[in-house]
Amino acid sequence: MIEMTDAARARVKELLNDETGNRLRVFVQSGGCSGFEYGMAFDEVREGDEVVEMDGFSLLVDQDSARALSGVKVDFVESLTGSGFTFMNPNARSSCGCGHSFSA
């Protein structure tokens, strides 16, 4: 369903602590300049979630987001201009310049 690069998995593991647990939710919500935007948050398992065991943590995806995130690859990029998670989505018809929103 969702693929995470080694760099993305390593960064998630760096962010984990006792308060966050070991669960990362990846989701899609309305917003952004292209209609939908990606989101990530440490969260609890909810009814209907797809749970994918990653390298030391659980990846949570709700049913509505699962459709838009199928085949997505998440990476963590560090550069001189900043760092952050990036999403490569084969389902996106277009995406904005910031890379954080898309249209489906």
Q: What is the CATH number of the domain that holds 68?
A: 2.60.300.12
Total domains present in the chain: 1
Question: Collapsing DSSP states into helix, strand and coil, what is residue 12?
Answer: helix
Within 13 A of 48's CA, how many CA atoms are on the CB side?
A: 5
In 3D, which of 12, 22, 23, 97 has the Cα closest to residue 61?
23
In this predicted model, what pLDDT tens digit does every residue of 42-87 receive, in sequence order?
999 999 999 999 988 999 999 999 988 999 999 999 988 889 998 8
Structure token digits, residue 63: 């049913």
Flag whether 59 is in a domain.
Answer: yes
* Residue 88 forms part of a structural domain: yes
Asked, for residue 100, whether it belongs to a domain, the answer is: no
Query: Taking a C-beta distance cutoff of 8 angstroms, is the pair 52, 59 a contact?
Result: yes
* Residue 41: DSSP 8-state: E
- Which range marks the domain in which residue 38 is found? 3-93
The values of phi and psi at residue 13, to 5°, are -65, -35
pTM: 0.82
Question: Does 35 reside within a domain?
Answer: yes
